[in-house]
Amino acid sequence: MATPTASSTVTPTGNTSLTVRAWRELNSDWGSDKEAFKNVPWGKAMMWIFLLSDTFIFSCFLIGYMTVRMTSTDPWPLTSDVFALEIAGQHIPLILIAIMTFILITSSGTMAMAVNYGYRGDRKKTAALMLTTAILGASFVGMQAFEWTKLIEEGVRPWGNPMGAAQFGACFFMITGFHGLHVSIGVLYLSIVAFKVWRGDYESKSMESKGMESKSAAPTDGRNYQIVEITGLYWHFVDLVWVFIFAFFYLW
Amino acid sequence: MAYAEDAEHQALHEPRSYWTRYIWSQDHKVIAIQYSLTAIVAGLVALVLSALMRMQIGFPGSLEFVDAEAYYQFMTMHGMIMVIYLLTALFLGGFGNYLIPLMVGARDMVFPYVNMLSYWTYLLSVIILLASFFVPGGPTGAGWTLYPPQAISQGTPGTDWGIVLMLVSLLVFIVAATMGGLNYVTTVLQARTHGMTLLRMPLTVWGIFSATILALLAFPALFVSGIMMLFDKVLGTSFFMPAMISMGQQLDHEGGSPILFQHLFWFFGHPEVYIVALPAFGLVSDIISVHARKNIFGYRMMVWAIIAIAVLSFVVWAHHMYVSGMNPYFGFFFATSTLIIAVPTALKVYNWVLTLWRGDVHLTVPMLFALAFILTFVTGGLTGLFLGNVIVDIPLSDTYFVVAHFHMVMGVAPILVVFGAIYHWYPKITGRMLNDTIGKLHFWITFIGTYLIYFPMHYLGFLGMPRRYYDYEGIAFIPQSAHDLNAFITVMALTVGLAQLLFVFNMFYSAFKGRPAEANPWHATSLEWLTPQTPPAHGNWGPSLPVVHRWAYDYSVPGWEQDYVPQTEPLRPGETEHTGIASDSSPLDSTDSSIAEGKP
């Protein structure tokens, strides 16, 4: 098909500098017809844009938390004491959070492996690794439930707590709750996709017609495991957000 | 193979019955109409509320049921509905949904099912909001900005149910806007047709696209502040609540920050102004170009101005907060950034005017509205310069000057574009023309009427008449002339309000009895006018997608037998494409050679 080229074609004149040329080429690549991101499926582009929007949500949560931590008149509870466990007579600060963080980061590893095996077209390993990721995620949520229970038993409530500033409980339940919700949705999402991978939904040629065909990844004999990567994007994002929550809420 | 190309051969969700075709429809055109009608209904509710408020201001006590509480409730609901549930929903959900796929040459939005969910979620949010009229205590009367602590303290109307429903409705709306917005952005980025480069897209698409990105990045701040305030109200947390005594009682809150809410709210609130304005800029650019039979002046400058405004709109929010008690140095920064944003905005106004200059201006109804937009927008924009400066803003801040300013710039101006755009695209949407005579009557009453409403308000503001007051009786410094002026404004407001019935009547009457429209009644160049059917059928384009060869503004090009060249028309031999750079953008001046050579 005689497709017209981009309107801003580069005119190679002798005296244009390299920078100017580079900018023009960038411009014409980006601005060319059909797609701004070449060979990126619609779902993947949409997931990236959604994650950008979600980043703003979590940023607002964290900025809000930092602000009320500054404005609150009572002292902020010492997180290393609040989040400590007595294990075998030892008082270990932040041990549960450390384990939770380790688990979540491990799950990102298994997720990355699942994406890899997906593009290799290994249906069973992909499904197994995604399921592992989901189980790790579920255990994270389980531990979070344990942590919530423990704090609630110690008298921490959204509207107040015996350790200090009322905003501590409010921020804790709001931010970890919202993040936990994200993890739970992720577990559900992973399980559904893992099940579909295992069932062989992404093996058939019919997916091509749904705009899911890939050119970039390895064997393209009709298989299409882009959805695994899209799920992975979401999962890594949830993981990354946790790192920030860990740093700003638990360690600070 | 590109995904957009793939989609060309894609079997779409084919509607099978009346229900899937018109009610649970996944077709972007049907969803657009659903969005628009819902938004217009909500807008009519808000219009009635404003009439009731004006009755109280102009003729105090004339309506018994408008007491102080009701007045504040009406004011809150009027503001919130107009800004969010009417304008945002109509520009993005209505025009965005209808025009984006048609203008970029796509068969539909990229995820039609999510698009459908977006509408139904939006409808749910409208229902939740309107339900607050029927709960004990009525809707919230906190003012549309919902500032805590008063928004959730006793003494404010609707503090039991109203505020909760308002916040829940906003959260639901944001979910709906996000689902829709993801679709619009992805469609523009990834689903354009052959030859539709980013810099061949009509400015309408650019405006709606940028506004949608703003929505996706600004609504999170409202979402978070909504959740926090809901917790303050329902769970008794103290995010926004300092220690305070209310009605003689020490409240159970302490240590929260009311200013935090203002920052979060306006971090959303200012981009929100541009979420409404940028689509209006885009639509009006296209309307002016079509009806002046001339290419838009400085197309690329217009695109970059949109992008510059979009970026800058995130760093001006605290100019709404000069009197909030924030650090005065913030005022210096935000006043500067506010004045900088006037530069790309003024550039757009100049370019509209230069587009009209020596154009073949047809004073059709859409064009009248577009011209009126330029005037009202300039009027409102100039008073923005007053309010953007800290030192001038402080005395004017809580007066009617502000009411006049924002109604002019983000009430009247975008609404005029809405009307213009409906008159312009109605033939494509319904296949019939709107009635011209009723349209012109509607235009003149609305246009002159809005000036008669809002112009005197500037004067009232200079007199120091405070806004948000229920009653001005017995305030010594307000002279009798101001009361008389208020009565005059009320009469004008009621007249303009009633005139909108003309428009509603015209819309429904013409849908059935209007003159049948040709496929391209305005002789426009952009893709939506080139569909094989009018109104466009499901899938928009028949068997294959259109192929685009030029920008959307080839009007009055010398050497062509008609005064417009559709985007699908290939370049003639020897013809060079318009790059959209201002220096070569006036075909009326280039009388000769290179283009004419192409003529057979």
Q: Which of B196, B227, B260 is the last residue of a domain?
A: B196
Confidence of residue A39 (pLDDT cuts 50, 70, 90): confident
| Phi and psi based region of residue B559 (left: phi greater than 0; alpha: psi -120 to 50; beta: remaining) | left
CB A230 within 8 A of CB B111: no
At residue B341, does pLDDT exceed 90?
A: yes
Residue contact B3–A211, C-beta within 8 A? yes
Query: B236 to chain A: which residues are within 8 Å by CB?
Result: 158-159
If you count residue pairs, one on A and one on B, with CB atoms under 8 Å apart, how many are there?
181
Amino acid at B474: G
At residue B415, does pLDDT exceed 80?
A: yes
Query: A32 to chain B: which residues are within 8 Å by CB?
Result: 197-198
Structure tokens that stand for B414 in this block: 């975008």
Among candidates A50, A170, A178 on the partner chain, residue whose Cβ is nearest the Cβ of B182: A50
A8 interfaces chain B, CB cutoff of 8 Å: yes
Q: Which residue has the higher pLDDT, B159 or A88?
A: B159
Query: A67 to chain B: which residues are within 8 Å by CB?
Result: 257, 260
Q: Which residue has the higher pLDDT, B582 or B72?
A: B72
Q: Shortest CA distance to B115 belongs to which of B51, B32, B218, B15? A: B32
Average pLDDT, chain B: 92
What value of ipTM does the predicted structure carry? Answer: 0.92
At residue A5, does pLDDT exceed 80?
A: no
CB A47 within 8 A of CB B216: no
Residue contact B182–A74, C-beta within 8 A? no
Q: Is residue B356 part of a domain?
A: no
**B contact residues 80-109, partner A, Cβ 8 Å cutoff:** none
Distance from CA of A138 to the nearest CA of B (A): 25
Residue contact B231–A49, C-beta within 8 A? no
Domains of chain A plus CATH, in order, are 41-250 (1.20.120.80)
Q: Shortest CA distance to A176 belongs to which of A140, A211, A218, A135? A: A140
**pLDDT digit string, tens, across residues B418-446:** 999 999 999 999 999 999 999 999 999 99
Q: Which of B188, B196, B197 is the mutation pick for testing A, counting most A CBs within 10 A?
A: B197
Q: Which residue has the higher pLDDT, A204 or A76?
A: A76
CB A66 within 8 A of CB A247: no
Average pLDDT, chain A: 86
- Give the separation between CA A234 and CA B323, rounded to whole angstroms: 41
Percent share of chain B, pLDDT over 90 = 85
Among candidates B6, B190, B243 on the partner chain, residue whose Cβ is nearest the Cβ of A37: B190
Confidence of residue B19 (pLDDT cuts 50, 70, 90): confident
Q: Is residue B276 part of a domain?
A: no
Q: Which of B189, B232, B307, B527 is the mutation pick for testing A, counting most A CBs within 10 A?
A: B189
pTM comes to: 0.92
Cβ neighbours of residue B508 under 8 Å, at least 6 residues apart?
none
Query: A2 to chain B: which residues are within 8 Å by CB?
Result: 547
Distance from CA of B578 to the nearest CA of A (A): 8
Burial annotation B580-596 (CB, 10 A radius, 16+ → b, else e): beeeebbbbeeeeeebe
At residue B31, does pLDDT exceed 90?
A: yes
Residue contact B2–A38, C-beta within 8 A? yes
Cβ atoms within 10 Å of B543's Cβ, excluding its own: 8
Dihedral pair phi/psi, residue B548, rounded to 5°? -100, 135
At residue B595, does pLDDT exceed 60?
A: no
Distance from CA of B159 to the nearest CA of A (A): 19
CA within 13 Å, CB half, B221 = 20
Chain A CA closest to residue B239: A68
Distance from CA of B498 to the nearest CA of A (A): 41
Overall number of domains in chain B: 2
At residue B105, does pLDDT exceed 50?
A: yes
Among candidates A53, A64, A169 on the partner chain, residue whose Cβ is nearest the Cβ of B224: A64
Q: Is residue B113 part of a domain?
A: yes
Q: Is residue B35 part of a domain?
A: yes
Q: Which residues pair with A86 in a beta bridge?
A: A91
CATH classification at residue B533: 1.20.210.10
What is the pLDDT at residue B234?
95
Confidence of residue A23 (pLDDT cuts 50, 70, 90): confident
Q: Is residue B281 part of a domain?
A: no
Domain extent at residue B532: 363-538
Confidence of residue A33 (pLDDT cuts 50, 70, 90): confident
Query: A7 to chain B: which residues are within 8 Å by CB?
Result: 197, 199-200, 551, 577, 579-580
Query: A68 to chain B: which residues are within 8 Å by CB?
Result: 238-239, 255-257, 260
Q: Which of B100, B184, B200, B238 is the mutation pick for testing A, counting most A CBs within 10 A?
A: B238
What is the pLDDT at residue B586?
45
Residue contact A68–B260, C-beta within 8 A? yes
Dihedral pair phi/psi, residue B598, rounded to 5°? -70, -15
Residue contact A46–B199, C-beta within 8 A? no
What is the pLDDT at residue B91?
97
Q: Which of B176, B196, B216 is the last residue of a domain?
A: B196
Region of poorest pLDDT, from A115-129, B7-21, B255-269, B469-483: B7-21
- Give the separation between CA B446 and CA B506, rounded to whole angstroms: 15
Query: A71 to chain B: which residues are within 8 Å by CB?
Result: 242, 255-257, 260
Structure tokens that stand for B580 in this block: 């959209």
DSSP line for B256-287:
--HHHHHHHHHHHHHHHHHHHHHHHHHHHHHH
B190 interfaces chain A, CB cutoff of 8 Å: yes
Residue contact A166–B547, C-beta within 8 A? no
CA end-to-end distance (rounded Å), chain B = 36
Q: Is residue B224 part of a domain?
A: no
Chain A CA closest to residue B544: A1
What is the pLDDT at residue A222?
57
Rounded to 10°, the helix B28-58/B97-104 angle is 140
Average pLDDT over residues A155-174: 93
Q: Is residue B252 part of a domain?
A: no
CB A145 within 8 A of CB A137: no
Region of poorest pLDDT, from A20-24, B39-43, B51-55, B230-234: A20-24
At residue B127, does pLDDT exceed 80?
A: yes
**pLDDT digit string, tens, across residues B369-396:** 999 999 999 999 999 999 999 999 999 9
Q: Which of B130, B162, B196 is the last residue of a domain?
A: B196
What is the pLDDT at residue A15?
66
Rounded to 10°, the helix B365-388/B436-463 angle is 10
Residue contact B254–A68, C-beta within 8 A? no
- Give the separation between CA A23 and CA B189, rounded to whole angstroms: 19
At residue A91, does pLDDT exceed 50?
A: yes
**pLDDT digit string, tens, across residues B201-218:** 999 999 999 999 999 999
At residue A216, does pLDDT exceed 50?
A: no
Q: Is residue B120 part of a domain?
A: yes
What is the pLDDT at residue A30?
83
What is the pLDDT at residue A28?
81
Residue contact B257–A56, C-beta within 8 A? no
Alpha helices in B292-435 (DSSP H): 299-312, 328-356, 365-388, 390-396, 400-406, 413-430
B26 interfaces chain A, CB cutoff of 8 Å: no
Residue contact A35–B197, C-beta within 8 A? no
A45 interfaces chain B, CB cutoff of 8 Å: yes
**B contact residues 528-587, partner A, Cβ 8 Å cutoff:** 547-549, 551, 571, 577, 579-580
What is the pLDDT at residue B12?
61
Query: B106 to chain A: which residues are within 8 Å by CB?
Result: none
**A contact residues 58-117, partner B, Cβ 8 Å cutoff:** 59-61, 64, 67-68, 71-74
At residue A220, does pLDDT exceed 90?
A: no
What is the pLDDT at residue B581?
75
